[in-house]
Amino acid sequence: MLKIGIIWIFGLAIALVSGITAMGAITKNKIPDLAVSLQPANGFAFETLASNSLKAAVAANNGQFPNSVEPVAEAFAKQAFLSEPITPQAIAVLALGSTEGKKRELMHEAFALSRRQQLVIGWMIIDAGTREDIPAILSHYDTMLRTSSSAASVVIPVMAGALANPNFVEPFADLLSKKPPWASRFWGAVFIIPEAIENAAHLRKMLYTADEIKENYRDVDLVYALVSNQRFEAAENLYQLLAGQRKEALLLENESFEREPVYPPLDWHLFSNGEYGAAITGGSLQLSAISYSGGLFARQLVKLPSAILEISVKSNASIPEGAKISIDIKCAEILENAPRPISITLTDKLTKQQISNQQSGCSFYWLEVVGRSAENGDGFDVMIESVSLQRQL
């Protein structure tokens, strides 16, 4: 897995070097050619010529750094260094023409002079990758993101993808604990990568503090992505940390509709369109539908023990004639022998029913509020005051 992550990192470095920096080599810049013809010699102009030559070689080599540099590029780099010793790109060119031991030393000298040179940072990332030094890789990415406004669109998705490798979790935690300016964009990219979301949840738990600014994260999206990808345990554990530990006796969250849901579908997920919908208002779940319309109004993912359970639903009035409203419970897990769904039709102000989950083999269920108004009626407005689910002793 580590090798795969390193390959992804290499891919980014290569893309940056061959795609972004090669543009300078393709464009015929006459200014350095003119500057080097003047006296005294302009070291920075020679540096530009040496750099452009290397960029062209990288582009021609499918984005990979060459094992050696062309003599003309090396000559430009030497002249640049002799005229202006603080020319990081010239030092980088000289480094690539040196022995392996000297190459790394010179590249670090170039990096110390400037952290804005993509050629230098790209090589540093690749070098860190060959040594499997994940903290160094992420540190160089951090540098790249802080010094280049155009790097984020390329760097952030690959960093998010690298989180699919569990070896990256702790190094990411160390880096993100410093609250880098690109952190919110990183979290915005992580939840759309299924392979990374479980490690992302672990990383999020490592970074959690009671006084944190939650707007810096994408917790709602991450919880929803975990559920959508059947990572129910990870979603449940993250939710309990973010929302506070639930009381042991309560299997259903916010059963009396006392507050707006924050982390659906671990809390109530409400649905509505132009014909029907659900809303939490005044301590009740309001269900509204026009004539002959309806569907899924609300749902919540619940973890049920292997036990006899009782579900209790209380509304402010009996269900209107011709309308059908029910509580449906169905296994959310993908199982070969999943238990059959249960549908409990609501008729009176109070509906109670016992159900068994003793030998179902399923732990996570969707508890759904569904309904439809009568075809020839006026629609309905129903207020459900509570939905509770409790283990029977």
Mean pLDDT of 192-200: 96
In this model, does residue 25 exceed pLDDT 50? no
Task: Give the number of other Cβ atoms within 10 Å of residue 32's Cβ.
Answer: 19
pLDDT at 392: 86
Q: Got the DSSP string for 191-217?
A: TT-TTTHHHHHHHHHHH--TT--GGGS
List Cβ neighbours of 148 (8 Å cut-off, separation of 6 or more).
116, 118
Element at 276 (helix H, strand E): strand 276-281
110 band by pLDDT with thresholds 50, 70 and 90: low
% of the chain with per-residue pLDDT over 70? 70
Over residues 86-105, the mean pLDDT reads: 65
What is the overall mean pLDDT for the chain? 81
* pLDDT (mean) for 199-203: 97
Please report which confidence band the pLDDT of residue 269 belongs to, taking 50, 70 and 90 as the band edges.
Answer: very high
Supply the pLDDT for residue 56.
Answer: 67
Tell me, what's the pLDDT at 92?
Answer: 67
Give the separation between CA 125 and CA 9, rounded to whole angstroms. Answer: 8
pLDDT of residue 366: 98
CA angle 295, 299, 301 (to 5 degrees): 145
Residue 150 pLDDT class (50, 70, 90 cuts): confident
> Is the model's pLDDT at 209 over the cut of 60?
yes
- The mean pLDDT value for 279-304 works out to 95
Query: Length of the chain, please?
Result: 393
pLDDT at residue 125 in the model? 79
In 179-311, alpha helices (H): 183-190, 197-207, 219-228, 232-243
User: Any idea what the Cα angle at residue 43 is, between residues 39 and 48, rounded to 5°?
Assistant: 120
Range from 81-90, 190-199, 335-344 carrying the lowest mean pLDDT: 81-90
pLDDT at 303: 95
Whole-number Å distance between alpha carbons of 312 and 390: 9
Backbone phi, psi, residue 269, to 5°: -105, 115
Residue 192: pLDDT over 70: yes
Whether 281 shows a pLDDT value over 50: the answer reads yes
- Quickly state the pLDDT bin for 147 (edges 50, 70, 90): confident
* pLDDT level of residue 270 (50, 70, 90 thresholds): very high
Structure-model confidence comparison of residues 94 and 123, the more confident one: 123
Question: Between the ranges 12-26, 59-73, 374-388, where is the mean pLDDT highest?
Answer: 374-388
Q: Give yes or no for residue 5 having a pLDDT over 80.
A: no
User: Is 90 exceeded by the pLDDT of residue 301?
Assistant: yes
Question: In this predicted model, what pLDDT tens digit does every residue of 327-369 receive, in sequence order?
Answer: 999 999 999 999 999 999 998 899 999 999 998 999 999 999 9
Pairing of strands 342-346, 294-303: unpaired
pTM for the full model? 0.78
For the segment 125-136, the average pLDDT, to the nearest whole number, is 83
Looking at residue 31, its pLDDT comes to 46
- The Cα–Cα gap between 1 and 157 comes to 18
State what percent of residues in the chain have pLDDT above 90.
51
The reported pLDDT for the residue numbered 38 is: 39
Q: Model confidence at 149, in pLDDT bands (50, 70, 90)?
A: confident
Residue of higher predicted confidence among 54 and 144? 144
